[in-house]
């Protein structure tokens, strides 16, 4: 979409929605002239947003909603069209989920949001002599800086992805070693990686647990006996000299060098008590016939979660009928790797597995 030379939005009190929408347009076209008013002129030639009953106004019926039920506001409507061109489809979706949706929700429902409150404080107070448009553009300048930082960060992740994925391809035993600090979470999303080891920006090396994309928890946290303890205690408990720090939440350690960081990760891997005795990889049939793939320790409980809308975003949007496939694995690591392999199959290949599972009597369904 080409941004025109002129834009029009509503006058009066402003909010984060119209402020960030304006900031987005200024980023894409720095010379755009924004006019504020209560009525769009009949002869206005340009982009109209947050007013005027057009494609970027969210005040008319029927309203537009995302798949997760969050209603669009003007900023979200503009970002849906313009965001992918700035940061790519995946990063645009993540920015929408993590940054824009809370702002849209605030504008539509009044749900509390501290950033929206901060932008609102730029409005002149009731007895102020300040020009309202001048206050609006002061707020836009701040919002523009925030949004530019979001965009720069997203593109930095995009640039890092190939290096991270190359390190993953070279990894062993679920331990990914990076040549320098890189934003790695996007590159390792939905992989079977368990730890990331990299040079620390504070000196030495760090090892960090990879988060499960569904539970949002560390797949294999570091031992509780290390958590938040002084260096001498960690060294005594681990038997590994040179581990200087373990976060109280057990997702991060720092060490004197790469080999020490690797030794800490390998010790966790050897402790099979940290892994469930058995795990399952499964496919759930959705109401439209789609197949959702995941892993669990308790299939019956996991299916109930999917059917109640608490299991995963995909099944919340598409419904969950029941299991189409279950495969028992030796442990969580094996299940994670098998999950990745299944997700790479075509729909037709998955259906072959499902048919064979049904022909075998649906083994694993009885698990509770």
Digit-coded pLDDT (tens) for 87-130:
999 999 999 999 999 999 999 999 999 999 999 999 999 999 99
CA 125 to chain CA centroid, Å, is 37
Predicted local distance difference test score (pLDDT) of residue 366: 54
Predicted local distance difference test score (pLDDT) of residue 368: 44
Region 234-263 average pLDDT: 96
Question: For the chain, how many residues are written?
Answer: 368
Residues whose CB is less than 8 angstroms from the CB of residue 236 and which lie 6 or more positions away in sequence, other chains included: none
**Are 96 and 79 in contact, with CB atoms under 8 Å apart?**
yes
Q: 201 by DSSP, 3-state: which?
A: coil
Q: Which of 77-91, 94-108, 334-348, 352-366 has the lowest mean pLDDT?
A: 352-366
Predicted local distance difference test score (pLDDT) of residue 181: 92
Torsional sign, CA 265, 266, 272, 276: positive
Q: Is the pTM of this model over 0.75?
A: no
DSSP character at residue 20? H
Provide the angle, in degrees to the nearest 10, between the axes of the packed helices 132-169 and 16-28. 70
Predicted local distance difference test score (pLDDT) of residue 190: 81
Where helices occur in 239-346 by DSSP H, the ranges are 258-270, 299-307, 313-318, 332-343
Q: Which of 313, 319, 316, 327 is nearest to 283 (CA)?
A: 327
Identify each DSSP E strand in 174-290 by its residue range.
175-177, 195-199, 205-209, 243-246, 252-255, 279-285
DSSP character at residue 276? -
Question: In a 10 Å sphere around its CB, with 0-12 CB exposed, 13-18 middle and 19+ buried, how is residue 34 labelled?
Answer: buried
Predicted local distance difference test score (pLDDT) of residue 365: 67
**Region at 190 (left for phi over 0; alpha for psi -120 to 50; beta for the rest):** left
Predicted local distance difference test score (pLDDT) of residue 274: 47
Distance CA 17, CA 104 (A): 7
18: β partners:
none
pLDDT band for position 332 (cuts 50, 70, 90): confident
Q: What is the pLDDT of residues 250-270, one digit of tens each?
A: 999 999 999 999 999 999 988
8: β partners:
35, 48
Provide the angle, in degrees to the nearest 10, between the axes of the packed helices 74-87 and 16-28. 30
DSSP character at residue 2? P
Torsional sign, CA 36, 42, 48, 53: positive
Predicted local distance difference test score (pLDDT) of residue 273: 46
Region 281-300 average pLDDT: 92
Q: What is the DSSP string of 47-113?
A: EE-SSTTSTT--SSSSPPB-TTSPBP-HHHHHHHHHHHHHH-HHHHHHHIIIIIHHHHHHHHH----
Q: Which of 64, 36, 65 is nearest to 52 (CA)?
A: 36
The answer to whether residue 208 scores a pLDDT higher than 60 is: yes
Q: Which residue has the higher pLDDT, 27 or 365?
A: 27
Domains along the sequence of the chain with CATH: 6-152 (no CATH), 171-274 (no CATH), 279-359 (3.40.1440.10)
Q: Which of 181-185, 216-220, 346-350 has the lowest mean pLDDT?
A: 216-220
**Are 340 and 191 in contact, with CB atoms under 8 Å apart?**
yes
């Amino acid at each position: 979409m080409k941004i025109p030379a002129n834009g029009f939005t509503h006058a009066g009190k402003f909010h984060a929605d119209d402020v960030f929408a304006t900031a987005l347009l200024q980023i894409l076209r720095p010379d755009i002239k924004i006019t504020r008013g209560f009525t769009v002129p009949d002869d206005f030639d340009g982009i109209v947003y947050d007013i005027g009953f057009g494609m970027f106004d969210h005040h008319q019926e029927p309203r537009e909603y995302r798949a997760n039920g969050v209603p669009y506001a003007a900023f979200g409507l503009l970002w849906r069209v313009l965001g992918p061109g700035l940061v790519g489809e995946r990063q645009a979706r993540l920015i929408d989920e993590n940054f824009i949706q809370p702002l849209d929700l605030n504008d539509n429902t009044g749900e509390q949001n501290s950033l929206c409150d901060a932008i609102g404080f730029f409005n002149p107070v009731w007895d102020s002599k300040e020009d309202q448009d001048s206050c609006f553009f002061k707020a836009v300048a701040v919002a523009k800086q925030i949004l530019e930082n979001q965009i720069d960060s997203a593109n930095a992740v995009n640039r890092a992805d190939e290096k991270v994925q190359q390190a993953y391809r070279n990894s062993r035993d679920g331990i990914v070693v990076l040549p320098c600090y890189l934003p790695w979470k996007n590159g390792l999303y939905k992989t079977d990686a368990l730890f990331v080891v990299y040079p620390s920006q504070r000196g030495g090396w760090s090892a960090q647990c990879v988060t499960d994309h569904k539970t949002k928890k560390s797949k294999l946290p570091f031992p509780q006996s290390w958590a938040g303890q002084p260096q001498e205690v960690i060294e005594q408990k681990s038997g590994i000299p040179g581990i200087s720090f373990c976060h109280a939440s057990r997702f991060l350690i720092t060490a004197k060098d790469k080999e020490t960081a690797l030794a800490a990760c390998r010790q966790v891997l050897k402790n099979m008590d940290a892994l469930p005795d058995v795990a399952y990889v499964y496919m759930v049939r959705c109401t439209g016939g789609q197949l959702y793939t995941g892993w669990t320790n308790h299939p019956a409980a996991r299916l109930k979660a999917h059917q109640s809308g608490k299991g995963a975003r995909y099944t919340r949007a598409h419904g969950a009928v029941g299991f189409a496939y279950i495969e028992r694995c030796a442990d969580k690591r094996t299940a994670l790797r098998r999950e990745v392999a299944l997700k790479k199959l075509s729909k037709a290949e998955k259906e072959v597995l499902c048919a064979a599972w049904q022909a075998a009597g649906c083994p694993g369904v009885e698990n509770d």
